[in-house]
Amino acid sequence: MNKPLENNISRIDSLKLSTEPTFKNVFGDSWDDLPIVMKKHYVNRPYSKDRAIVEGTLDIMCAGPIKLLAPLFWLMGNIPPRNENGVAATVYFDSDENSKAFHFNRIFYFKNRKPYHFRSRMVPVTDNEIIELMRFGFGWRMNYCWEDNRVKLKHKGYVFNLFGYLIPMPLTFFIGEGNAEEVAIDDNTFAMDVRITHSLWGEIYGYKGQFKVTQEI
């Protein structure tokens, strides 16, 4: 069991300084190498009201265990378990006035369905390690890095957030390993590719597409 999230707050965080982007420390020395669009994407500061907005379209697929568990994913407000191309999507990147969490509010506009909200928050843990926390305490642990001219999110397992304590969950064998990449297209546009790959089923989930920054901080 990991230390509670609130105990992972450094002294500088406790001072609630909001002059530096949350992800500047996550990317470390690579921050200055990021393309302009990536800095627009990750420029949110902690303990602030910062908001950036991106809009784009995604091709979404699901298969295997994700498809079988689709009702549970819909109920939990998690990744949308649907097969559809050209899905319009808007993502709000919001800072938190009371913490260093980086909030994602994703809205998917599927055909013949009400807009679907998938909300999560990224919480820096140590150096380039991030926990993405979703509803009901489920979390994805990952490493964030700038490598091969792209942002990479590398799978490190799943956790359950119980009153701030991060409990490792051995679910990779059952629901697969998540990885993602983001590549700059120009100063305002980036492409992203998110995949969940299972050791037996192969690729069981993914969404990929392009987003344009429509509101900067």
Full residue range of the structural domain in which residue 68 is found: 5-215
The number of domains in the chain is 1
Q: Report the pLDDT value the prediction gives residue 11, as an integer from 0 to 100.
A: 44
pLDDT tens digits, one per residue of 12-64: 454 455 689 999 999 999 999 999 999 999 999 999 999 999 999 999 999 99
Q: Report the pLDDT value the prediction gives residue 126, as an integer from 0 to 100.
A: 86
Q: Report the pLDDT value the prediction gives residue 3, as an integer from 0 to 100.
A: 57
- pTM comes to 0.90
Q: Report the pLDDT value the prediction gives residue 193, as an integer from 0 to 100.
A: 99
- Res 7 pLDDT > 50: no
pLDDT tens digits, one per residue of 62-109: 999 999 999 999 999 999 999 999 999 999 999 999 999 999 999 999
> What CATH number is given to the structural domain containing 106?
2.40.128.20
Calpha distance 65→80 (Å, rounded):
13
